[in-house]
Every structure is written in structure tokens, then in C-alpha cells.
Structure 1
Amino acid sequence: MKNYNYLFKYIIVGSTSVGKSCLLLQYVEQKFRNAYQVTMGVEFGTNLIKSNGHVIKLYIWDTAGQESFSSMIRSYYRNAIGCILVFDLTDRKSFESLVKWYNEVLSCTGNDIQIIIVGNKSDLQNNREVQEREALDLAKRFNGKYVEASALTGSNVTQIFETLTEQILQEIQSGKIDPQNEIYGIKIGDFEKRRNSEFVPKTQRQSVQVSYPIQSQKWECC
């Protein structure tokens, strides 16, 4: 049973050591990984989320930030409808690299992918090297949203995925994204199929009256 309205595929992208895997682990399992582990290729997580009266199933792919994996992870970008671009608030270079990551994602997915930028490690305010205004301006350039979060404390982690999901649903409801078009990679679940069937108008029988014109006949006498 596909007990959801839609299935969205998300990718988490950014430089190495910005906390992509920790954000995913915090969101899916509410845990924090103390020991740093380099992602070898990709990691995967899934979750259900309720948004605007819809049940959305999320497939979330966390991609490696090392250049050595770049050719492999590009294949995971395809059919993604949402992209979470992550940088480290205490590392300016990771912020400056977002333009490169953004262009790479667009080259593999297309302009319709929805973007949210995440400034991770918001718990380290005294060490921050990127101001909120800068990140907001970049998000505007990417036609996306911006959230500051902490994978350590869990602050705003859920908000990342809720905001991105709401953004996509708004695009669907406005008609800008067609969930039935395969290029978006969206899967339609049983809840949505059932909901759509309830709105299909039933064919109503209508009685039709047909009037035939009466033609006068002229009789001739023999």
C-alpha cells in the first residue's frame, strides 16, 4: 500500500564536513553522530510528513562532498524535486562553494528543482563567518528559502524539510509543477488517487425531449 499522497525525492548537497549526514540522522532518528564519519558515496533516509492536508513520503539522499565521488553522486541527482544545499556557518569557504554545487545540481536536474539553503551549526554563533543577510540574498538568487539549523541540538532541523515540502506543494497547487509528469520524479500514492477519484463528477442521465415538426399534407382530389 502506498499510504501517502505524494513521494518526493530530496538530495542533500554541500562541501565535506558541513554536517549533511548529521542533519539527515537528526531528522530521521533524532540522534546526533559525535564521531565524524566521511560519507562514502551516498546515504539514504526516509520519513513521512504531513503538510497542508497531504501525507508526503520523503526519500532523502545525502551525497558525499568530496570531488572523488562527484561523477558517481550525479546519478543520484536525477528525478529529485527538492535540493537541500548545506554550508557550515563557521566556514566561509563552504558558503562560497554553494554556487558551484547549485550549478552542478541544475545541470543534472533542471530549473524546476526546488531549493532550500541551510546554514548548519547555528549553535556556534560566536564562531560564525557568514551573516544571515548574505545567505538570505543567495537564497533569493536561487529562488529558494533559507534556514539556520543545528544538527547537534536539533534546532530547526524539522523546519528544513517542512519548508521545502510546503514549497513544492504550493508549486503543484499553482500548476507550475505537474506531479504526473515523469520529469519531476514525483510518485503519486493511493491517498491522492483516492482523493482525485472523489472529485470526478458522475455522469448524469438527462431526459431528452425531441420535437418533430408536423408537416401539413396537401390532398388533391381525383
Structure 2
Amino acid sequence: MKVKIKNQIVQLHVLDTAGSEDYARLRLLAYPDTNVVVICFSISDPLSYRSVTQTWLPDINLNCPKAPILLVGTKSDLRNNKEVLEKLKEKHLSTINQQQGLALAKQIKAAGYFECSSMHQEGLDEIFEKAAHTFLQRKKRARSKKHCIIL
């Protein structure tokens, strides 16, 4: 995927490693070359939100501690979905609001917080643009790499 930032083309290599153990080895192989980490959680799933600090952050801090992190709340279209809200209410839970996402981003020292909906194709470009921009900022300091790997 190519992203243009200030007349400069950045080639993004995106590795979606998901949360399953099937991808654990792939993650370990990808970590050393990772330039930017995008941690995603589902806005409609409070357990997913908790996994950011309980699962993903420790893993990233251990394996690629210098890579900047972008935090992304996915499925923003479900935040006010009646069925989702009813199911969560039965469990005394609720969807994650934007303030919670921003607070978590601050807590984990993320370089940015974004929300997106792949269903409605909203917010996706901004995430990749920020990843490319973050890479370019770091590249100015390092002056070595010509492409960006996103985990």
C-alpha cells in the first residue's frame, strides 16, 4: 500500500497478525523490523479494549519497545447499534466511547488515537496516513530505511 505524505510516497507493508495463537510465530518474526505498531480494539467489545493493556502492550514493549504505537478503535459503526447495546447491557457492559479511547491512548503513550468503520469505510485513510507520517518523522532522525512496516 502506498501513501503520499507531503509529495513523498511511503510504501506501507501491513501485517495483520490478529490475536490468535496461530499468528504468534508470525508476530515474533515481524517485530524486529516493525516501524509502527497499530493496536486495534473493537469499540463494541470491552474485552478487546482491556486486551490492549493486558495482552498487546506487554508483548509490544518486550519485542519492539522503540516502535511508536497508534491506537485504533474499530467497528465505530456499532457504538450505537441497538442489538449490540442490548447484548452488552445484559452483561452490564457498554460500548467504548471516544473519551475512553483517548484516555487509553494517553495511558499507553500512543502517537495517536483513531476510530474507524470498515463497514462504512470511515477513518481508514487517516490511520495509514498517520502511520506513514509517524514513520517519516522517525526516519528523519534515523535516515536509514526506505519503507515502513506496520504490525
TM-score for both structures, normalised by structure 2: 0.79
Pick closer, same or farther for the CA change 1:179–1:141 going to 2, 3 Å: farther
* Counterpart residue number, 1:98: 52
Identity of aligned residues (%): 26
Q: Which of 96, 102, 107 pairs up with 2:62?
A: 107
Count of aligned positions: 133
* Structure 2: gaps of 5 or more residues: 86-93
Q: Name whichever structure is richer in helix by fraction.
A: 2
User: Which runs of structure 1 show a deviation greater than 6 angstroms over 4 or more consecutive aligned residues?
Assistant: none
* Counterpart residue number, 2:113: 146
Q: Secondary structure at the match of 1:49?
A: strand
Instruction: Write the deviation string for residues 89-148 of structure 1: whole angstroms up to 9, x where unpaired.
Output: 0100000000120220221112x2011111111111214611211111111222221001
Matched, 1:155 2:112: no
Pick closer, same or farther for the CA change 1:172–1:76 going to 2, 3 Å: closer
- Matched residue type, 2:96: V
Q: Which structure would you say has the larger Rg?
A: 1
Higher relative contact order (CA 8 A, sep 6+): 2
- Matched residue type, 2:63: C
Confirm or deny: 8 A CA contact 1:64 1:73 kept in the other structure.
Answer: no
1:172 Cα shift?
Answer: 3.3
* Counterpart residue number, 2:89: none
Matches within 5 A, 1:202-221: none
Rounded to whole Å, the distance in 1 between the matches of 2:7 and 2:132 is 12
1:164 Cα shift?
Answer: 1.7
* Structure 1: gaps of 5 or more residues: 1-46, 181-185, 189-222
Rounded to whole Å, the distance in 2 between the matches of 1:163 and 1:73 is 22
